[in-house]
Amino acid sequence: MVNYFRKALVGATLIFVMNALANLLAFTTKIILARNLSITEYGLFYAVFNLVMFLLFFRDLGLGTALVKYIAEFKVSNKLHLITTITFVTLFFQLISSIIFSFFLYFFAGFLATSYFKEAMAESLIKLFIMYIILSVFFKMTKYILRGFQNFRVFSLFEFLKNGIILITLVIFFMFGHKTVLATAWAYVVGSLILFCILLPFAIRTFPFFQYPLISFKKTTKKMFLFGLPVLFTGIGGKVIGYLDTLILTYFGTLEQVGVYNAILPSAMLFLFVGTSLSAVVFPMTSELFAKKDFKRLTAGINLLHKYTFLFMSTMILALFSFAKLFITLSFGLKFNVGTVSFQILLVGVLFYIIAGINNNMISGIGKPKVVTITIVIAALINVTLNVILIPIYGIIGAAIATSVSYFIVFIISTIFLNRILGMKSRIMEWIKLSLLAIMFLFFINFLKDVLTFGLWANVILSITMAGTLYLLLAWLFKVWSLKELKYYFKLFRK
């Protein structure tokens, strides 16, 4: 019998470590940009970048997620001949949509630069990103294939390699005096090409695609789109929550505001790599367990993930919440301090969105992407409404409130749906207990921060360590975790 606990833990740990390093590289890139470009230039780059990334979901068509799902399913059912077909379907339609999308951006680049971004440089930036759009199809295909076959060792390197290549390319450009917005965009274009060349051999060795001819193209295409299109709408909803605040800020505010917000938002989002790491393993594994009707291990795994993910992440996120101003100053400089309150608001939302992301990947893995679509659409509509109301009045603080409220709504709805689909009991009291413990941890750390007088870094280390110890002790007293439970899972891992 497959040891799914061991498989999940090893896979998630590997991806977690590599994603942590990848996020560190991405964060370093943002620091270099923030300290070498003006706030206006920084804001312009991310205003254009976010618009392109938001619209790219129309290109994806949901086929990437469908490819991951059906590779896992066809592997279990030994329908290997269909794996080549679904891979070709995904590549073909994403290329077609990318070309159409690129033509649209090229011809409207001038209009967007003058009427939306209000900056002439945006036109050249948009046209340069067209190359990235085309190249991204190919390197993302390798990512889907590696994830579908659960080749977690190579898959875990994806974001690390991408961010590392972009960072190195950017540093080289800057060293030779090209400290411009366009040089930053070129780093992304060059990085995507190099990444594809590195990962292609691994993807080809994962499965002998050329040994199996294309069959049932029309039927397979229909199957892929029936699963993928709901995922497309889910993705668009997610992008609305993640990017609409920046898009509305660009229109109603200034590029300086966009610059500050796009320093603090990605900083808060750094913690989402935990959910991403777990989801990368959980999605194909959930699909496999559900196909085998192994509901016992599936529900046990969900309860385990929820509790320990929240317990672990709340300490890290709330510790950063307490030292938010210090973090922003050290990372980006004093000129970005105006975003401190917005950063704290976003951190709270991210804590719950980590769990929500795991929930949604499990629901999709079960084969219910429409449920995820409903969840995200509801949250996205609320996000749009709040952004339109709050951003013109409160600026980046309004954007942060809208995003965090949307994240919390996704958490609530996805948890309810997951419980209903699998017939799990509601665990409201456990969530309340975890939330109260997190609030107590925040109180402890802020109290200690104010009373300790050993110097800046000594106060930071001591307050986090002491508050964290009290937090774990209280969690043990409230029976949130126990040594017996940890020993049980350790034994399960060793089997």
> What would the mean pLDDT of 389-403 be, rounded to a whole number?
93
- For residue 443, pLDDT over 80 is answered with yes
Q: What is the pLDDT at residue 10?
A: 62
Of residues 424 and 470, which shows the higher confidence score?
A: 470
Segment 76-105 shows an average pLDDT of 85
Q: Label residue 82 exposed, middle or buried (CB < 10 Å: 0-12, 13-18, 19+).
A: buried
> Which of these, 74, 78, 86, lies nearest to 215 by C-alpha position?
86
Q: State pTM to two decimals.
A: 0.77
Confidence of residue 156 (pLDDT cuts 50, 70, 90): confident
Q: For the chain, which residues make up each domain, given as ranges?
A: 4-426
Report residue 176: phi and psi, to 5°: -90, 15
What DSSP string runs through 215-275?
Answer: --HHHHHHHHHHHHHHHHHHHHHHHHHHHHHHHHHHHHS-HHHHHHHHHHHHHHHTTHHHH
Mean pLDDT of 406-422: 88
Summarised one tens digit per residue, pLDDT across range 265-306 is 988 988 876 666 666 666 666 666 666 666 666 776 677 777
- What mean pLDDT value characterizes the chain? 83
pLDDT band at 385 (very low <50, low <70, confident <90, very high): very high
pLDDT top residue among 307 and 190: 190
Tokens 């270099």 sit on residue:
32
Provide the pLDDT confidence category of residue 12 given band limits of 50, 70 and 90. low
- The 10s digit of each residue's pLDDT in 202-232 is 888 877 677 777 777 788 888 888 888 877 7
Q: Is the pLDDT of residue 15 over 70?
A: no
Comparing 97 with 23, the larger pLDDT belongs to 97
56 burial via Cβ count (<10 Å: 0-12, 13-18, 19+): buried
Residue 115's CB: how many other CB atoms inside 10 A? Answer: 10
Q: If pLDDT is split at 50, 70 and 90, which confidence band does 1 have?
A: very low
Distances in Å between the Cα of 451 and the Cα atoms of 262, 350, 418, 442 are 33, 29, 44, 15
